[in-house]
Structure 1
């Protein structure tokens, strides 16, 4: 089964527009800081780094584009989700990579225990970050970021120019996932790349971000894994259906 609370948007025409971050009352800001400090005390690995907040999503009436409005923020703003009656519920923008294998299916990974989502299965990817001064946050920037996440998490090299925007999902808290489709690799090669990457990181005293990989070929494969990202069943379902149609 797919999660009916997750929406899917076509990403063939995607545009990002920077806007001002919504203002907070002094009370909301104080509550945010308090909840953030509590979260850090429980999980010291958390850091208040730069992040991209999704402020709005709009489909053009003529269907010409999907417009994502975003504002530069930090991870601290996510603590607003715990503030009762808050005037603004911050959503995140993240990227993922659909990494197909040549005999069918997609590579997914399980997050290690030190991560924000320990034990959760998802596609390789990560949160979007604000662009450097003088640069833009656009589809090309997200594509490059997705390719970098693929390399850092499973060790597979993909030319960003060979990856295409495949779809956009909106799930829990309104979080927006921009999903890119990479060229296929052999399943054995993809798993081997991750094995080598994990060995190299552990030799440096660093735990890999993903502690396990798997290949899923159906929604049943996804649900069989256990805890997974809310968007994963829907993405796998649509990917499998698309392959069947072609």
Structure 2
């Protein structure tokens, strides 16, 4: 269903992933992409052009399933979104985790100052990387990736098989997120795990990707900039009526 924010939120009882050929760029698009990427790196030297999965399609498959078409790419392909007239605009694929506290509130995190979106609130998660040659990208691989992101960003260790597929989301730019739900945890324990992670990272001279956590129940609890999918996710989670 389409939300007022321009975000689609799909029920996802079953997910099938199909690999497609990498996007083909014209010489003009490739030159524009490289120029846009070089400019982005000059503005933020923390950027790196590592392997990443792009999403070129998300379709319903009856009954109650989704088919996701994906391609192998690198992060510089996303720079083409900023180039007027570019003929290739590759949507991204990411995973995110709904981590509830035992009182029903959801854990959200604020992106640190060194990231590509400083100050932005979102669910724990991140971009999906392609599997090694010969290994599948399937729901189990996405679940493992989501569990790893949750641990790396919040300090909350949860076995991958304890995460359940919840919904898929698609933003106005076509980017797709696969959302998993984790078992509830005590609120104080969640904050304590992040405090331990933060202390460990700072002892090594680093700042965690999520520099602050909060527990929220509905969109009214959000303060500051946030990812577009967060409001519809909170509405669905809390049962808040759409306005």
Normalising by structure 2, what TM-score?
Answer: 0.95
For residue 64 of structure 1, report the CA deviation from its aligned partner.
4.4
Query: RMSD between aligned alpha carbons?
Result: 1.4
For residue 133 of structure 1, report the CA deviation from its aligned partner.
1.9
Q: What CA distance in whole angstroms lies between the structure 2 residues aligned with 1:9 and 1:214?
A: 25
Q: Out of 233-242 and 23-32, give the one that drifted further.
A: 233-242
Q: Give the match for residue 240 of structure 1.
A: 238
Q: What CA distance in whole angstroms lies between the structure 1 residues aligned with 2:30 and 2:59?
A: 27
| Partner SS state of residue 178, structure 1 | strand
Q: What CA distance in whole angstroms lies between the structure 1 residues aligned with 2:182 and 2:134?
A: 28
Q: What CA distance in whole angstroms lies between the structure 2 residues aligned with 1:91 and 1:18?
A: 14
Q: Give the match for residue 44 of structure 1.
A: 45
Q: What CA distance in whole angstroms lies between the structure 2 residues aligned with 1:49 and 1:27?
A: 22
For residue 23 of structure 1, report the CA deviation from its aligned partner.
1.1
For the 8 Å contact 1:3–1:231, the answer to whether it is kept is no
Q: What CA distance in whole angstroms lies between the structure 2 residues aligned with 1:36 and 1:87?
A: 16
Q: Give the match for residue 206 of structure 2.
A: 206
For residue 7 of structure 1, report the CA deviation from its aligned partner.
0.4
For the 8 Å contact 1:3–1:230, the answer to whether it is kept is no
Q: What CA distance in whole angstroms lies between the structure 2 residues aligned with 1:130 and 1:113?
A: 27
| Partner SS state of residue 198, structure 2 | helix
| Partner SS state of residue 117, structure 2 | coil
Q: What CA distance in whole angstroms lies between the structure 2 residues aligned with 1:177 and 1:231?
A: 9
Q: What CA distance in whole angstroms lies between the structure 2 residues aligned with 1:90 and 1:16?
A: 17
| Partner SS state of residue 173, structure 1 | coil
Would you say how many aligned residue pairs link Structure 1 and Structure 2?
239
Q: Give the match for residue 86 of structure 2.
A: 86
Q: What CA distance in whole angstroms lies between the structure 1 residues aligned with 2:172 and 2:227?
A: 10
For the 8 Å contact 1:54–1:92, the answer to whether it is kept is yes
Normalising by structure 1, what TM-score?
Answer: 0.94
Alignment partner of 1:228 is 2:239: no
Q: What CA distance in whole angstroms lies between the structure 2 residues aligned with 1:105 and 1:94?
A: 22
For the 8 Å contact 1:21–1:55, the answer to whether it is kept is no
Q: What CA distance in whole angstroms lies between the structure 2 residues aligned with 1:205 and 1:219?
A: 34
Q: Which runs of 5+ in 1 are unaligned?
A: none
Q: Give the match for residue 60 of structure 2.
A: 59
Specify which structure has the higher proportion of helix. 1
Q: What CA distance in whole angstroms lies between the structure 2 residues aligned with 1:189 and 1:57?
A: 36
